[in-house]
Amino acid sequence: GAGVSQSPSNKVTEKGKDVELRCDPISGHTALYWYRQSLGQGLEFLIYFQGNSAPDKSGLPSDRFSAERTGGSVSTLTIQRTQQEDSAVYLCASSLRRQVGHQETQYFGPGTRLLVL
Amino acid sequence: KQEVTQIPAALSVPEGENLVLNCSFTDSAIYNLQWFRQDPGKGLTSLLLIQSSQREQTSGRLNASLDKSSGRSTLYIAASQPGDSATYLCAVVYMDTGRRALTFGSGTRLQVQP
């Protein structure tokens, strides 16, 4: 079956513009994560969705970042008024959440490479 | 602060060698530990996941071990090949959050020389 897909694969934008990044998780996966990978910072968690529960936004770096997940499937990460320090690879992952003790392998998409000029 | 550390940061070996990558984590209260591979410009590929109750997992030439009490994991690669060249990332899901988000190490960049 299809893996996690993300679009666009690359995005170049000007400082101050808004951008939207899309993630299509693996069908049937109830958990969805956004991570960011930037030079010098490594991979860091941004936001987590689980089913119909309220998302865990504790990793979002500022209020310019927001995300939504419609219908429990596709997710969009929005960055408003982009800054140069937002330049990074944004990775989406999904997992088939089960009860504690069962495997929860996270499967990653190819990422969106964002460059803010 | 809950962290994950990987050493070495980079490793270069001749083809055919067996090698060990190291990962350490600061809190033994974890759900699981996962090893990933990342090729340049690409996303992450999951290699092995070890539940907190397990001691090791094997897949082909890869073997990952977990010692929660010492906060360590190793990834053993047998008979390395040039195609193994990539960055290997270790990541842990700590128990104190309900989100199951991964905390990543900074990775080990592996180069296998033909």
pLDDT at B98: 67
pLDDT at A103: 59
Q: How confident is the model at residue A71 (pLDDT cuts 50, 70, 90)?
A: confident
Cβ distance of A108 and B106 shorter than 8 Å: no
Q: Does B1 touch chain A (CB under 8 A)?
A: no
Q: Does A48 touch chain B (CB under 8 A)?
A: yes
Compute the nearest-CA separation of A109 from chain B (Å): 6
In B1-114, at which residue ranges do the beta strands (DSSP E only) sit?
4-7, 10-14, 19-25, 30-38, 44-51, 56-59, 62-67, 72-77, 86-94, 103-104, 108-113
Per-residue pLDDT of chain B (114 residues; tens, 9 = 90+): 788 999 999 999 999 999 999 999 998 889 899 999 999 888 899 999 999 999 999 999 999 999 999 999 999 999 999 999 999 999 999 887 666 789 999 999 999 999
The larger pLDDT score, comparing residue B97 to residue A42, is at A42
Residues written for chain A: 117
Rounded to whole angstroms, the Cα distance separating A71 from A74 reads: 7
In the A/B pair of chains, how many CB contacts fall below 8 A?
Answer: 63
In the predicted structure, residue A74 carries a pLDDT above the cut 70: yes
Q: Token pair for residue A30?
A: 């109830």
Cβ distance of A108 and B44 shorter than 8 Å: yes
Of B46, B51, B104, the CB nearest to A42: B104
* Strand, helix or coil for residue A70: helix
The answer to whether the peptide bond before residue A25 is cis (omega within 30 degrees of 0) is no
